[in-house]
């Protein structure tokens, strides 16, 4: 059987967090527990593993037993990690790791609806709320096109949205993949067809990000980590495409005093704020050749990291989509 998930950039994340005995760490995207396990093996510390997918937590129970008393699993959104930990009596931690996106376990199970293999058009990590089928079958054509354009960075978004609207209702991943492939002009005309990736990839990505409000969660999660980290505590965030990397980069630049803090909600004339983070990575860290050979998923992974200062957490910047 294939291993369920190969943890991307695990050693680099571990080096950043540098777990110490008695330390407290949050793995905000527990998944198959690869980061949690590495942290727990590195030092006699405590880990809280958060995941919104109940299946990930069920599989993690064996690990909870193995690390008797040192690993606590929490079902919920990492965007609320400060509140989730507070509810368990923890107000500060020494490290937070985030490995954004979906796990191999989720992609590999056709019934979760994340892959092109035929399954229900679901895509919900939490297995609750609106599905991808709800979105494709109910959104007005213009809104669907905007979503596919913005969250999939898909230049044929309008054609795809029109084709979806013509074909609906439908509720299978294979149907969506077929509709998208057909809507995209064929190879030789400068279109996406003939690319290394399946032409439906970008539309699937857009729907997945929308269904799970992934960018909103990311922005909330960065603010929550800022509030939860103790001075000297470290944040390590791994992301897989520019839509995710951009808000991480911007957040860390601003909080470390590398970018103007001014915004509609936090005017430049206001007293300058003391940086709440010190950047540990000027450029994102990426996987080396050995890791790439073993794990193609690491190809587009980027790790950004920062260390919390003693300055108070900044108020949420609503212009950045952050939420307190």
User: By CB under 6 A, is residue 34 in contact with ligand SAM?
Assistant: yes
Which tokens hold the place of 37? 């396990």
Q: Are 211 and 298 in contact (CB under 8 A)?
A: no
Nearest-CB residue to ligand SAM?
34
Question: Distance (Å, rounded) from C-alpha 78 to C-alpha 168?
Answer: 34
Nearer to ligand SAM, 9 or 145 (CB): 9
Give the residue, chosen from 39, 49, 63, 78, that forms a contact with ligand SAM under the rule CB under 6 A: 78
Closer CB to ligand SAM, residue 39 or residue 157? Answer: 39
The CA distance from 161 to 115, in Å, is: 19
Sheet strands side by side (includes 229-239):
71-75, 46-51, 24-27, 93-99, 229-239, 302-308, 277-279
CB of 59 to ligand SAM, least distance (A): 10
Task: Please list the alpha-helical segments (H only) found in the chain.
Answer: 10-17, 34-42, 54-66, 81-86, 104-108, 132-138, 141-152, 157-167, 173-183, 201-211, 214-228, 242-255, 289-294
Tell which one of 9, 16, 29, 306 touches ligand SAM (CB under 6 A): 29
Binding segment (CB under 6 A) for ligand SAM, from list 47-55, 58-66, 152-160, 314-322: 47-55
Backbone Cα Rg of the chain: 20
Identify the DSSP state of 259: S
Alpha-carbon distance of 249 to 313, in angstroms, equals: 17
CA quadruple 133, 297, 238, 280: dihedral, nearest 10: -160
If one asks whether residue 247 binds ligand SAM (CB under 6 A), the answer comes out as: no
Among 60, 79, 192, 233, binds ligand SAM (CB under 6 A): 79
CA distances from residue 283 to 15, 250, 302 in whole angstroms, order as listed: 16, 12, 9
Which residue, 30 or 314, has its beta carbon nearer to ligand SAM? Answer: 30
User: What's the closest the beta carbon of residue 293 comes to ligand SAM, in angstroms?
Assistant: 18
Sole window of 27-35, 145-153, 165-173, 183-191 interacting with ligand SAM (rule: CB under 6 A): 27-35
Q: Looking at residues 117 to 146 of the shown chain, list those that interact with ligand SAM (rule: CB under 6 A).
A: 125
Near ligand SAM by CB under 6 A, which window of 39-47, 74-82, 161-169, 311-319? 74-82
Task: Name residues whose C-beta falls within 8 Å of residue 254's C-beta, 6 or more positions apart in sequence.
Answer: 260, 261, 317, 320
Report the nearest approach of ligand SAM to the CB of residue 125 (Å).
4
CB of 10 to ligand SAM, least distance (A): 7
- Asked if 206 touches ligand SAM (CB under 6 A), the answer is no
Residues that bind ligand SAM (CB under 6 A): 5, 7, 29, 31-35, 50-53, 56, 77-79, 99, 101-103, 125, 217
């Amino acid at each position: 059987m294939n291993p369920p998930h190969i943890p991307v950039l695990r050693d680099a994340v571990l080096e950043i967090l540098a777990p110490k005995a008695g330390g407290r760490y949050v793995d905000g995207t527990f998944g198959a527990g690869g980061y949690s396990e590495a942290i727990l093996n590195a030092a006699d510390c405590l880990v809280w593993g958060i995941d919104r997918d109940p299946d990930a937590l069920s599989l993690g129970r064996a690990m909870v037993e193995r690390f008797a008393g040192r690993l606590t699993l929490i079902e919920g959104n990492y965007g609320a990690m400060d509140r989730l930990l507070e509810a368990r009596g923890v107000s500060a931690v020494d490290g937070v790791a985030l490995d954004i996106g979906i796990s191999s376990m989720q992609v590999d199970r056709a019934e979760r609806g994340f892959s092109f293999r035929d399954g229900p058009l679901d895509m919900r990590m939490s297995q609750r709320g609106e599905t991808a089928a709800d979105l494709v079958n109910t959104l007005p054509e213009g809104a669907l096109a905007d979503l596919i354009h913005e969250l999939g960075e898909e230049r044929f978004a309008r054609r795809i949205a029109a084709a979806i609207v013509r074909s609906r209702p439908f509720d299978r991943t294979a149907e969506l993949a077929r509709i998208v492939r057909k809507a995209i002009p064929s190879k030789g005309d400068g279109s996406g067809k003939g690319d290394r990736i399946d032409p439906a990839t970008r539309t699937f990505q857009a729907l997945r990000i929308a269904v799970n409000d992934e960018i909103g969660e990311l922005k909330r999660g960065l603010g929550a980590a800022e509030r939860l980290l103790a001075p000297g505590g470290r944040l390590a965030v791994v992301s897989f495409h520019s839509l995710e990397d951009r808000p991480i980069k911007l957040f860390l630049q601003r909080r470390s005093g590398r970018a103007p803090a001014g915004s509609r909600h936090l005017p430049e004339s206001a007293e300058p704020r003391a940086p709440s983070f010190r950047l540990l990575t000027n450029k994102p860290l990426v996987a080396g050749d050995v890791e790439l050979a073993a794990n193609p998923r690491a190809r587009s992974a980027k790790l950004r990291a920062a260390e919390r200062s003693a300055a108070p957490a900044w108020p949420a910047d609503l212009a950045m989509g952050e939420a307190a």
